[in-house]
Amino acid sequence: MSPLVYHALVGFVVLNAVIGMVTYVTLLERKFAARMQSRIGPYYVGWPHGWLQPIADALKLMMKEDIVPRAADRWVYNLAPLAFLVPCILVFATIPFAPGLGVADLNIGVLFFLAVSALEIVGLFMGGWGSNNKYALLSAMRAVNQIISYDLPFIFAALVPVVLAGSLQLSVIVEAQRAMYGAFVFYPVLGQLAFVAFLVATLAAENRVPFDILEAESELVAGFRVEYSGMKFALIQLGEYAHMIATSFLGALLFLGGWLGPGPAWMGPVWFLLKAVVVFLVVTWVRWSFVRIRVDQILAISWKLLLPATLVLLMATALVVALRSTGGA
């Protein structure tokens, strides 16, 4: 089999796996939120617990009419969902699920993930601008401000495990956690603070409550996607949840030991998925437990608190590693 055909097949499998995960992560989120609010959640479509509800939702969106606003910039408007989706799918190429089980275990895996995931803002702003809608444009401008503000804290928090492991390769970072009870989150002080900062920055990067100002329903209706319908709306939703899943995978790899865990080697991917689900549910729990905060408060938290804290944390980690390497600690 030629390398081109092999990589095409791998890409096809990964794409379908991501679509499958997104489909049922939405059901998991709705069920989890319902339990928090003493409800049942989706139940009848796919009795007895609504297992077919995500498929029904997907079919409904596929059959809806694709409406394009008369004054929209058609090229920008039509390309925006793809420009938003592609980076969210591409980051999965660097995610190893176990030793040797992944698309590409790059030696700059963390750097690739951070760089590519930041490109989603291009598609997001294209959607806001191309719609020719004041609510969509305001939402896109808010998103640019927020994501730029929280990208640096997110990067600094993610670099703490990189410094501790001495590598940007995700598989090497996971194996380095064997010496720390199987997870960098157990590293005294530095691990816990970095993980908390990572979760806060993740909430902002994923536009989740309390950082969901770009789609505040009372102000902006549905945010930058207010003019989208049908399959284009489905692609945007797919991109949002795919990026959230990928970030949960990254958190599990960097801080929770990835596939490390008790039991035989074949249990590695199972442990990895369980840890990623824990990260996802923590983000979901915060979403359904807190209220939205103001725009000025969101930016103040980033520039006045989280950014200086993560920068000091990264410098402290580098100092600890330097002292350990010279025998000073």
Question: Within this chain, do residues 277 and 243 fall inside the same structural domain, yes or no?
Answer: yes
Question: Within this chain, do residues 51 and 98 fall inside the same structural domain, yes or no?
Answer: no
Question: Within this chain, do residues 104 and 87 fall inside the same structural domain, yes or no?
Answer: yes
Which residue, among 170, 237, 185, 207, has the nearest Cα to 298 in the 3D structure? 207
Question: Within this chain, do residues 244 and 280 fall inside the same structural domain, yes or no?
Answer: yes
Question: Within this chain, do residues 33 and 143 fall inside the same structural domain, yes or no?
Answer: no
Which residue, among 70, 52, 89, has the nearest Cα to 238 in the 3D structure? 89
Question: Within this chain, do residues 45 and 127 fall inside the same structural domain, yes or no?
Answer: no
SS3 175: helix
Q: How far apart are CA 24 and CA 9, in angstroms?
A: 23
- Check whether the bond before 48 is cis (ω within 30° of 0): yes
pLDDT of residue 328: 55
Cβ 123 vs Cβ 78: under 8 Å: no
Q: Which two tokens stand for residue 167?
A: 């590598």
Cα-based distances in Å from 261 to 173, 178, 192, 249, 326: 15, 9, 19, 16, 31
Domain stops at, among 63, 81, 96: 63
Which residue, among 173, 212, 195, 187, has the nearest Cα to 278 in the 3D structure? 195
Domain stops at, among 15, 43, 63: 63
Q: What is the DSSP string of 20-69?
A: HHHHHHHHHHHHHHHHHTT---S-STTTTTTTTHHHHHHHHHHHS-----
pLDDT tens for the 329 residues of the chain, in order? 677 777 678 778 878 888 888 888 888 888 888 888 888 888 888 777 888 888 888 888 888 888 888 878 888 888 999 999 999 999 998 999 888 887 888 889 999 999 999 898 888 888 888 888 888 888 888 888 888 889 999 999 999 999 999 999 999 999 999 888 888 888 888 999 999 999 999 998 888 878 887 777 666 677 788 888 888 888 888 888 999 999 999 999 999 998 888 888 888 899 999 999 999 999 888 888 888 888 888 889 999 999 999 999 999 999 999 988 886 54
Question: Within this chain, do residues 11 and 109 fall inside the same structural domain, yes or no?
Answer: no
Question: Within this chain, do residues 77 and 222 fall inside the same structural domain, yes or no?
Answer: yes
Cα-based distances in Å from 231 to 82, 238, 290: 11, 10, 31
Domain stops at, among 21, 41, 63: 63
What range defines the domain where residue 287 resides? Answer: 64-325
Which residue, among 60, 74, 76, 113, has the nearest Cα to 91 in the 3D structure? 113
Could you give the number of structural domains in the chain? Answer: 2
Residue 168's contacts (CB-CB under 8 Å, 6 or more residues apart) are: 107, 108, 109, 110, 111, 162
Question: Within this chain, do residues 205 and 267 fall inside the same structural domain, yes or no?
Answer: yes
Owner of token pair 């993560």? 310
Q: How far apart are CA 302 and CA 310, in angstroms?
A: 10
Question: Within this chain, do residues 1 and 85 fall inside the same structural domain, yes or no?
Answer: no
Question: Within this chain, do residues 45 and 170 fall inside the same structural domain, yes or no?
Answer: no
pLDDT of residue 99: 86
Question: Within this chain, do residues 75 and 220 fall inside the same structural domain, yes or no?
Answer: yes
